[in-house]
Amino acid sequence: MSGIGFICKNTVGTLLKKDKPAGAQRITPFQAVTTALAGTMGVGNIAGVSTALVAGGPGAIFWMWVSAFFGMMTKYSEIFLAVKYRRHDSDGRVFGGPMYYMEYGAKKKWLACVFAFLCVVCAGTVGNLTQINSLSTAVYASFSIPLWVSGALTVLCAGAVIVGGIKRIGTTNEFIIPFISIAYICISLGFLVVNRAYIIQAFSLIMQSAFSFRTAAGGITGYGIARAIKIGLSRGVFTNEAGLGSAPIAHAGADCKSASHQAVWGIFEVFLDTILVCTLTALVLLTAAGGGLWRSGADGAPLTALAFESVYHGFGGKFISVSIIFFALAAILGWYYYGETALNYLFKGSRAALYAYRLFFFCFVFLGAVGEMSLIWNMTDIFIALMAIPNITALVLLRREIKLPTVNPHAR
């Protein structure tokens, strides 16, 4: 616990330190953070929280907080190792991620190949299907645009950015994520000011449901707690990606001064994503319409849109839809980069493999737009578990190499 306190004590100082400018083939530490946040902020916070609430009851929100607490430590560790064991190619490009610390740190080449394969597959599922499905359903609900049209337009927009490589992806996400995140936080706070009378009731419901044997539907069985824990932990991992091994791939490309300094950004990501933004969304859902809207039968992004519409009439639903458009696009870009990096590890830069991967990736973007929501979220839970297993295994094997950040109090 003393190590956790030390990290927390030095987090702010480390985040405020300036790193040298990024090189031609690297991204800045902040661009790495926004690329990593792109896969977590927005769709996970907007759609993921509502699906967790509907499927697991209010108690699932508490278990999302639990996953975030441990996720801060996990994400720090995996980013630290990703930066420490990253590699450079002949063109000066930087590659890193779990597959590199599995091979060069843990000396488990086979484990690295397993992870890289799963990462390529997950890029078309976890990082693709949930994002575009939330986007298409939200846009259809607010603007009546057909699902397939949303899928086709997203393919075109994402393709225009992807051809520019990691620098263009980083620059795009550096603009999108801060802008839309601040807007979403401000709108949510305004919503809670209007419904402030129900906030204490919402927190009470979360805590009571987290340890209650009563399910959301009212049945009195132990299944209620088990489902709340399962849904809460799985959605928590989905929203902050801690332990999944995806975010370290983005951080490994940062032009940072040390592995420990870059790793502190991981703590910030989990706190911002799950502790702050997910909690705001949960409170919005639990206070909307006197606290009963989450039982309306709606789910996913449409439920969140209905909640905001209850206060921001004629604006709330459209704001959620626009937010999801930007968040989902940023997430798709980030996950494309994760998959491409894993592909390069497996096939050593093969152009044929790259073109096949792009075709696979964009096909799933389109298919996700017209897919069925509950099936897609169930697939996401499965692939999250598959991808996390080899990464957590490597973190355990390399636990003694992880070092805490040091901040010189006399540095100017």
Residue 195 has pLDDT above 90, yes or no: yes
Asked if residue 410 is part of any domain, the answer here is: no
Q: Rounded mean pLDDT of the chain?
A: 80
Please report the pLDDT score of residue 2 as a whole number.
Answer: 44
More confident residue, 197 or 165: 197
Asked if residue 156 is part of any domain, the answer here is: yes
Asked if residue 3 is part of any domain, the answer here is: no
Asked if residue 278 is part of any domain, the answer here is: yes
Asked if residue 133 is part of any domain, the answer here is: yes
Write the CA distances from 191 to 33, 149, 230, 282, 287, integer angstroms.
28, 31, 29, 12, 9
Asked if residue 92 is part of any domain, the answer here is: yes
Which amino acid belongs to residue 27? I
Alpha helical stretches, state H, 144-246: 147-162, 165-194, 199-210, 223-240
Asked if residue 1 is part of any domain, the answer here is: no
Please report the pLDDT score of residue 100 as a whole number.
Answer: 94
Residue 63 has pLDDT above 90, yes or no: no
Asked if residue 125 is part of any domain, the answer here is: yes
* Other CB atoms within 10 A of residue 343 CB: 24
Percent of the chain with pLDDT over 70: 80
Sorted by sequence, the CB contacts under 8 Å of residue 359 that are 6+ apart come out as none
Please report the pLDDT score of residue 14 as a whole number.
Answer: 40
Q: What is the CATH number of the domain that holds 394?
A: 1.20.1740.10
Please report the pLDDT score of residue 82 as a whole number.
Answer: 92
Lowest mean pLDDT, pick from 96-105, 207-216, 249-258, 389-398: 207-216
Please report the pLDDT score of residue 135 as a whole number.
Answer: 84
Report the number of distinct structural domains present in the chain: 1
* Closest residue by Cα to residue 96 from 110, 108, 85: 85
CA 22/CA 36 separation, integer angstroms: 17
* Closest residue by Cα to residue 390 from 135, 117, 139: 117
More confident residue, 54 or 16: 54
CA 154/CA 169 separation, integer angstroms: 15
The model carries a pTM of 0.80
Q: Domain of residue 382: give its range.
A: 23-401
Query: Is residue 9 very low, low, confident or very high in pLDDT (cuts 50, 70, 90)?
Result: very low
Residue 88 has pLDDT above 80, yes or no: no
pLDDT digits (tens, 9 = 90+) for 247-295: 898 888 777 778 888 888 888 888 888 889 889 999 999 999 888 888 8
